[in-house]
Amino acid sequence: MPPKSRLREALKRVIFGPQNFAQQCPLGMRDPQSEIIVRLWGLGGALDVTHRHMMACGFPFTIGIALDEELAAKSHESKSLSLSFEERDGHRRLLGKIALRAAAQFPAGNEKLCLFQPRSYSNYCLPKPWLWSRYLYYARSRSSPQTAEMALTLREVHSMSVFYICPRPVVLATVAERNAGNVFPMNLMGAIDEDYFSFALNATRPVTSVVESIGRIALSSIPLEQASLTMALGKNHRAGYVPWGDLRFETKKSTLFGAPVPAFATRVREMQIESVREVGSHKLFVARVLRDERYADGAEFFVVHGIYQAYRERSGRFLDSLQSAPGLVAR
């Protein structure tokens, strides 16, 4: 490459950052993650909701937060709610914020599951020129026919990139009855409290009707080294029932339901579904946790947004990570 071209490329890297624009990056950590703390502001101080919030719907982008009765009532009236995403250790930097507006709430176990949509967003992970270069790249990617399924607004897209600053676990879900069922990856989910859990599935996918019909589910935490296998099972969202013989990995029976779960699972949670609600493009399930068994420790499969992964790389933070995993977050 001629000297002028090398200089031009070097200047572009300084101004716009590295040309690695992956939107979703797998990495390994133990659940529950301890890298990012998520706080809810606007209810009389900072409320730690790190392990009590979830993505409840892909379109429109909706966040669910578990709150008690009193805080839920306040949240419905508050005009100044926001989520902050901060480093738990190190410099404890504020990395992003999402301003919220209340959308709905309903009983979920012993709490209320409150739904919010973004009013605005701020992402502090990278210098602004670097951020905008990535925004432009992602916008060009979204213009392709393959990504036109959900017409998210720019505010929703960029709010989602802030939301995925917090590492999100990816599990393999098993639904089974008699000799039929399905196994598929899932990561739109979160705890309500110690006894209740919530997860969201695209309402148009055949597997969603199967889950609703069977009424129980087993969630298997996955070692990082099984990430590629897990992603390959994404096609099962578009199936109803799948032949157990088609599974290309060893299984064992879950303790309560006898459902086939991966033999390599580090943890299995068996749940009974108690309610289902339609929220935009998704169905939101609330389930009671009946059994929670951990079989092994080690790095489990999580995903973060590529913008936050770029921050991690710049700040020298090191955890096992893989290549980007497009299309895994919002099925």
**What are the residue boundaries of the structural domains of the chain, listed by start?**
34-167, 168-301
Higher pLDDT, 258 or 132: 258
What is the pLDDT averaged over residues 297-311?
95
- Kindly tell me if the per-residue pLDDT of 309 is higher than 60: yes
Residue 144, pLDDT score: 53
**H/E element, 19:** none
Q: pTM score, two decimals?
A: 0.88
pLDDT of residue 71 exceeding 90, the answer is yes
* pLDDT greater than 80 at residue 259: yes
pLDDT on residue 135: 81
Model confidence at 151, in pLDDT bands (50, 70, 90)?
confident
Identical topology for domains 34-167 and 168-301: yes
Residue 85 has pLDDT above 90, yes or no: yes
pLDDT digits (tens, 9 = 90+) for 223-249: 999 999 999 999 999 999 999 988 989
Residue 243 DSSP SS3: coil
pLDDT tens-place string over residues 24-52: 899 999 999 999 999 999 999 899 999 99
Enumerate residues 6+ apart whose C-beta is below 8 A from 10: none
The highest-confidence range among 10-19, 41-50, 148-157, by mean pLDDT, is 41-50
**How much of the chain exceeds pLDDT 90, in percent?**
75
Q: Percent of the chain scored above 70 by pLDDT?
A: 86
pLDDT at residue 143, as a whole number: 59
Query: H/E element holding 137?
Result: helix 128-142
Q: What is the mean predicted confidence (pLDDT) over 72-77?
A: 94
**Looking at residue 317, what is its pLDDT?**
61
Q: What is the mean pLDDT of the chain?
A: 89
Asked if the model's pLDDT at residue 93 lies above 60, the reply is yes
Q: How many helices (H) and strands (E) does the chain have?
A: 7, 19
34-167: CATH topology is Pnp Oxidase; Chain A (2.30.110)
**pLDDT score for 19:** 56
Find the mean pLDDT for residues 182-206: 97
Residue range 209-218, pLDDT digits in tens: 999 999 999 9
- Least confident range from 87-96, 139-148, 311-320: namely 139-148
Identity of residue 196: Y
Neighbours of 307 (CB within 10 A): 27
Domain 168-301 -> CATH class: mainly beta
CA distances from 256 to 79, 100, 183, 211, 259 (A): 45, 39, 17, 17, 8
Name every residue whose Cβ is closer than 8 Å to that of residue 183 and which is 6 or more positions away in sequence. Answer: 172, 173, 174, 233, 236, 242, 247, 260, 262
The span from the CA of 78 to the CA of 40, in Å, is 12
